[in-house]
Structure 1
Amino acid sequence: MEHVESYYAQTANYHAPWPQLNESIQCDVCIIGAGFTGLSSALFLTEAGYDVVVLEAARVGFGASGRNGGQVVNSWSRDIDVIEQRYGQDSARMFGSMMFEGAEIIRDRIDRYAIDCDYRPGGIFAALNPRQMGHLRQQQALWERYGNHQLELLDESGIQREVATTRYVGGLLDKRGGHLHPLNLALGEAEAIRRHGGRIYEHSAATQIRYGTPNQISTAQGNVSAKWVIFAGNAYLAPQLEPRLSGKSMPCGSQIITTEPLSQDQALSLIPNNRCVEDCNYLLDYFRLTADNRLLYGGGVIYGAREPADIDALIRPKLAKTFPQLQNIPFTTRWSGNFLLTLSRMPQFGRLENNVYYMQGDSGHGVTSTHLAGKLIAETLRGDAERFDVFAALPHLPFPGGRRFKVPLTAIGAAWYALRDRLGV
């Protein structure tokens, strides 16, 4: 499988190819999946001197890591106030100490390895009604309590200076957030892994795993013998490879388009300071400018990861509501991709065996949380599992309705929250 026909694939940096595995090899750590979770893990581990092999069923960054909105958003899909209510103050303090670390890791990777991925600082959470604006005030206070003092609350006139729309009543600017070309970030991290001696194999799906000491991981044409295994496939992990990981999560689809290039004046009139933006709805819209002045716009969720019949019909009404001045602008690319949702909206980290780990279910906040995950698994294999175990201790709850009804029941629940968004209650 090749990359989907996205703007990112069309503008990807050149890189030397990675081979297909066609022999039997040995390593310290075998990682299944070459998305951000697997790449971050492999880079931290190779930097620490581990012999690492990454098996990718398709191409580096094939899944959500190479298709997402490119927004570097701090925290998790459930913010620190919800974490404190559900899991207690001690857990909240630990999560709070890590909530801005993923973005810092990304910026460090970009600087250390000179990764050309069009990084631009600044992300805006946009409120569509007074209730959402109240939540942003609370969010600012919470995030400042945990050390982020690069936040600016925007009133109605303030957000209109940042985004050329009358749709929002205000917003919160996080200067420690930002946006980038995610596929080029993934390719740059893969090159850094290669530089450290790590081995990446594309078109080399793991087909069977026999756990033991060592573990044996089979592909169609090869085999890997590894002391440790890390599952990092997220929404694109084959369910039959490890059924224990698919029962408490659900792949969900999101859709993105890019417009034809705007003139420099048009682009600056839309988002003068080149921030990325996401609104505060349950089923949110998100958008930003690309390096060549296209508007990249995404939104909505399809539960169960079905491919939509007409992406333009899903996105154009959303874009036109935000930017009426662009309601007839041509779209040049459109694509969809899957992320992995959990019932708690918190990532699922844990152990399947003493020497087998998994990290999945970032629930829409994968760009930053996957990079933190790689650091935590490296700490764990080096003997310090304290921070990994904060995540592993969270309950991994099944979706209501079981395998047959979890998609329609989740969609019904989402429709209820979407109605509340429209009513502003």
Structure 2
Amino acid sequence: MPIDRPHAPSVYAANAEASPARPALAADVTADVCVVGAGYTGLSAALHLAARGRSVRIVEAHRVGWGASGRNGGQVHNGQRLDQPTLEKWFGEPRARELLDLADAAVATVKDLIAEHAIACDWRDGLIHALHKRRFVEPTRRELDAFERRYGARDLDFLEAPALAAAIGTDVYHGGWRDGRAGHLNPLAYAEGLARVAEAAGTVIHEGTRAVGVAAIPGGGWRVTTGAGSITCGDVVIAADGHLDGLDPEIAAHVLPIQTFMLATEPLGDRAATLIPGGEGVADSRFVVHYWRLDAEGRLIFGGGERYGRSPPRDVVAFVRGHMLKIYPQLADVGIDHAWGGTVAVTMNRLPFVRRLQPGYYTAAGYSGHGIAIATFAGRLIAEAIDGDTTRFDVMASLPARKFPGGPHLRWPTLVLAMTWYGLRDRL
């Protein structure tokens, strides 16, 4: 089966090194584990399983990192997608502390993989969070102080409005904070790096190979069928996130894909240093978040705006550029070299859907825009569980998960209504 869709027209794909040929599956084969999807979750599960001596095959409908893993904004956040006070309110402090520890381990896993395997993905330290409403400033200041009193020093620095303006080259925000333990990277280069590590450990990756069915085998094990072959295995990992394409209705009921869009300017030269002199990534406090960073060539990579229908805007450049110019009007004369979009899967409560749905049948999805670290770590936890240690996996798998209401036909209109309300609230 040929690769039917190339990478998105992103700055990452345009400047990526040529990847090795990874032929499609064309026979019936066996493996200890079959992974469906070559994004961060699947690649991490594969490399950690292969390191434990398991034989692993990955089937990927398109290319390594074709989905959100290869086209996202590149920001690696600390913590879970929900803030710590919310987690404490929902689950109590002991469980909230466990979840924070796992999130810390997730970021550490990303950094360790990059360092240990020399993955060339332009890692840079630091993320800045900008507050778009004045009324957020004092509660945020108190929250950060309380957070470090309860959980210890975490390299968080509150920034008053003038200091924030100097740090991000715009005065449209009212304050914020810098997280020195977070960071950003080139997401497609990171995905390709994980793939090379997995392959070096023995994993076989089949690109251009769409899984069309997964069935339990009487007596134990699973069979994953594709257009031109099958993989018989002891365990299967569904790591397709927002690109399930009907493969598993149970997973699909818990995660919903939405479209996000971003652009990359032309290299800015000396102007780049006037925007983010410290080189951090930046994200703001909107529900429909704006996020941006400078890459190694001094381009501004900016994400802003979402779509909840099934078709992209007619002009992606104009759609995203309008958001960028509200923050950086001084860039009105700058050329746009690349603009693209992609799908990110969200859950009802914005916490990841990590489950063993049946014996030997695992999934992790729905990272809700917070996926680089958590997805990498979820793959590691699945590998641990398959290898017999479910301790950390069970913590993530215990998080509550509601199905989206309305069934398959009404999920989209329900989402549009909800997200439109939250988008309006951003502007009030």
TM-score interval, normalised by the smaller of the two chains: over 0.9
Distance in 2, matches of 1:94 and 1:308, equals 41
Residue 46 of structure 2 is aligned to residue 39 of structure 1: no
User: Which residue is 1:254 aligned to?
Assistant: 260
Residue 70 of structure 2 is aligned to residue 63 of structure 1: no
- One-letter code aligned to 1:161: A
- CA displacement at 1:393 relative to structure 2: 1.9
1:177-214 Cα offsets, whole Å, 9 max, x none, are 11111000000110011111111110111112221322
- One-letter code aligned to 1:254: T
- CA displacement at 1:273 relative to structure 2: 0.8
Structure 1 spans left out of the alignment, 5+ residues: none
Distance in 2, matches of 1:288 and 1:127, equals 17
Change beyond 3 A, Cα 1:17–1:140: farther
Residue 293 of structure 2 is aligned to residue 298 of structure 1: no
User: Which residue is 1:89 aligned to?
Assistant: 93
User: Which residue is 2:245 aligned to?
Assistant: 238
From 202, 206, 230, give the equivalent of 1:197.
202
Q: Which piece of structure 1 moves more, 87-96 or 288-297?
A: 87-96
Distance in 2, matches of 1:233 and 1:41, equals 13
User: Which residue is 1:229 aligned to?
Assistant: 236
From 349, 357, 373, give the equivalent of 1:344.
349
Contact 1:163 1:271 in 2 (8 A): yes
Contact 2:239 2:363 in 1 (8 A): yes
User: Which residue is 2:222 aligned to?
Assistant: 215
User: Which residue is 2:371 aligned to?
Assistant: 366
Contact 1:97 1:146 in 2 (8 A): no
1:218-267 Cα offsets, whole Å, 9 max, x none, are 1111111110000000011222x21111112210010010111111x200
- CA displacement at 1:139 relative to structure 2: 4.7
Distance in 2, matches of 1:187 and 1:355, equals 27
Contact 2:268 2:299 in 1 (8 A): yes
- One-letter code aligned to 2:50: T
User: Which residue is 2:77 aligned to?
Assistant: 73
- CA displacement at 1:312 relative to structure 2: 1.8
Q: State how 1:31-180 maps to structure 2 within 5 Å.
A: 31-141=35-145, 143-144=147-148, 145-147=150-152, 149-180=154-185
- CA displacement at 1:409 relative to structure 2: 2.8
RMSD, aligned CA:
1.6
1:280-305 Cα offsets, whole Å, 9 max, x none, are 01111001111111111111221255
Secondary structure of 2:254's counterpart equals coil
- One-letter code aligned to 1:79: D
Q: Which piece of structure 1 moves more, 329-338 or 87-96?
A: 87-96
Distance in 1, matches of 2:135 and 2:164, equals 16
TM-score, normalised with respect to structure 1: 0.95
Change beyond 3 A, Cα 1:135–1:202: farther
Secondary structure of 1:252's counterpart equals strand
Distance in 2, matches of 1:305 and 1:272, equals 38
Distance in 2, matches of 1:394 and 1:142, equals 24
TM-score, normalised with respect to structure 2: 0.95
Identity of aligned residues (%): 37
Q: Which piece of structure 1 moves more, 56-65 or 315-324?
A: 315-324
- CA displacement at 1:72 relative to structure 2: 0.8
User: Which residue is 1:354 aligned to?
Assistant: 359
Distance in 1, matches of 2:234 and 2:256, equals 29
Distance in 1, matches of 2:146 and 2:119, equals 32
Change beyond 3 A, Cα 1:214–1:148: farther
Contact 1:81 1:142 in 2 (8 A): no
Distance in 2, matches of 1:124 and 1:402, equals 38
Distance in 2, matches of 1:25 and 1:146, equals 49
Secondary structure of 1:420's counterpart equals helix
Structure 2 spans left out of the alignment, 5+ residues: none
Contact 1:69 1:298 in 2 (8 A): yes
